[in-house]
Amino acid sequence: MTSDLALFVKQMLRRPLEVAALAPSSAELARAMAADVGPDTGRVVEFGAGTGKITRAILDRGVAPHDLTVFEMNPDFATLLRAAFPGVMVHCAGAQDVAQFSLPGVGAVISGLPLLSMSNALQHAIVGGAFAVLREGGPYVQFTYGPRPPVAESVQHALGIHPTRGPKVWGNLPPARVYTFHRHPN
């Protein structure tokens, strides 16, 4: 068992409401989540980085470490991320607090959070915070294990966003689907 997996299992048992997954994201899911970012994206923000699978995929796409900001509220995961990814800004804070940080030029937000297990009010705070820092046209990328988009319809409507259905990743436990959200054009 790798140390990342051991830490994941330990945190899942200690904080099951924070770690609402059966296993860390697969490398295949991480690549699908990061597929549309690169060196020209500008600043990328990641929510709920956990053990850093998606973080690694974002960096592998050419995003510079100084252009990646991570929000991870689990202090043990945040410590792991700081050690594993020098140069990446890791905030041990909830994603709903993203707008309180100075983050100019955010080109994309990528989220590994279990949104559907959260209240609509918390979903609104998190996704609304993401769109508050995103530059115009920037995507919010989120995966789900379920058959529907991972943001409640009422939250989508209130924020004026719409989903685009992306790939189904069968090589993840459980299989997951990627969605990309954009604001409706004015």
164: CATH: 3.40.50.150
Q: Could you tell me if residue 125 is inside a domain?
A: yes
Is 7 a residue whose pLDDT tops 50? Answer: no
Six token digits for residue 121: 């009010």
Number of domains in the chain: 1
Considering only residues 3 and 145, tell me which one the structure prediction assigns the higher pLDDT. 145
Identify whether 2 is part of a domain.
no
The answer to whether 108 and 37 are in contact (CB under 8 A) is yes
pLDDT (tens digit per residue) in 9-45: 444 445 554 444 556 789 999 999 999 999 999 999 9
Q: Is residue 9 part of a domain?
A: no
- pLDDT top residue among 104 and 73: 73
Q: Does residue 6 lie within any of the structural domains?
A: no
Q: What whole-number percentage of the chain has pLDDT above 90?
A: 80
Region 86-95: mean pLDDT is 97
Please tell me the distance from the alpha carbon of residue 129 to that of residue 155, in angstroms, as a whole number.
12
Asked if residue 72 is part of any domain, the answer here is yes
Q: What is the pLDDT of residue 25?
A: 83
pLDDT at 133: 97
Long-range contacts of 166-174 (CB under 8 A, 24+ apart): 166/32, 166/141, 167/32, 169/26, 169/28, 169/29, 169/32, 169/143, 171/26, 171/28, 171/29, 172/25, 172/26, 172/28, 172/29, 173/22, 173/23, 173/26, 174/22, 174/145
How much is the average pLDDT of 85-97? Answer: 97
**Does some domain include residue 37?**
yes
Longest CA pairwise span in the chain (Å) = 50
- Please name the residue that has the structure tokens 């990646």: 68
Query: Could you list the residue range(s) of the whole structural domain that residue 101 is in?
Result: 28-183
- At 63 the pLDDT is 98
Residue partners of 183: CB distance under 8 A and separation at least 6: 131, 136, 159, 160, 161
- Six token digits for residue 98: 């993203």
pTM of the predicted protein model: 0.87
Closest CA to 110 of 88, 95, 99, 125: 95
79 assigned to some structural domain: yes
Across the chain, what does the average pLDDT equal?
90
Q: Which of 2, 5, 98, 13 is nearest to 50 (CA)?
A: 5
The answer to whether position 55 is within a domain reads yes
Q: pLDDT at residue 104 above 90?
A: no
pLDDT at 2: 53
What is the pLDDT averaged over residues 157-173? 95
Instruction: Answer yes or no: are the C-beta atoms of 29 and 174 closer than 8 Å.
Output: no
